[in-house]
Amino acid sequence: MKKAALELSANIIVVIIISVIIVGLGIMFVFNIVKQASNLEQQVMDQTREEMEQALASGDVKVLVPNNLKQTEKGSAIFGIGIFNEIPNAAQSDFTLAVSDPMYYETPSAEGVQKSAQIAYDENAVSIKKNEYALKLVIIKLPENAASGNYVFTVTVNNNGNVYDVKQFIAKV
């Protein structure tokens, strides 16, 4: 009887050790996936920043929204706004953003309807030296009950109270 009990407890110890190893490998696998996703997200952000920097540094555009269409599941989306200072006769200029509530379009050919959304961005002026650029972020959050369709936001970039440029971006639900 003692020999059978000893064999049974040895088997249980082996099963426990194997179970701990499998759980450990599973946890390691999950952490690796999360780490890779985080690295991929950082690479995409870096690539977007580089694209914005190249386009703005070329001087071909005054204001740039590189990814102006984002698919969102009734949640939030972040849009980058690049501003290039090409104002003559000024060593440095101040720029501010103004973002309007979105126009909602059920389909691209439908008539737009004004909707509301939570919009967060730095409303303080950013000073930009001549022939240099700055990047600003706009975070939008659509209501949980937002209808499917396109929400078009208009961003107005102002320079000392005057409209410098106007761009649009779209959150698609």
Asked, for residue 21, whether it belongs to a domain, the answer is: no
* Residue 92 near residue 132 (C-beta atoms within 8 A): no
CA atoms within 13 A on the CB side of 87: 20
Asked, for residue 36, whether it belongs to a domain, the answer is: no
Give tens-digit pLDDT for 53-76: 777 667 667 777 776 677 776 677
> Which structural domain range is residue 155 located in?
59-172
Asked, for residue 16, whether it belongs to a domain, the answer is: no
| C-alpha–C-alpha distance, residues 112 and 173, integer Å | 15
Asked, for residue 29, whether it belongs to a domain, the answer is: no
Asked, for residue 17, whether it belongs to a domain, the answer is: no
Asked, for residue 84, whether it belongs to a domain, the answer is: yes
Give tens-digit pLDDT for 98-146: 998 888 877 666 666 767 788 888 888 889 898 888 888 888 888 777 7
How many domains is the chain partitioned into structurally?
1
Asked, for residue 31, whether it belongs to a domain, the answer is: no
Q: Check which CATH number belongs to the domain holding 95 and give it.
A: 2.60.40.10
Asked, for residue 39, whether it belongs to a domain, the answer is: no
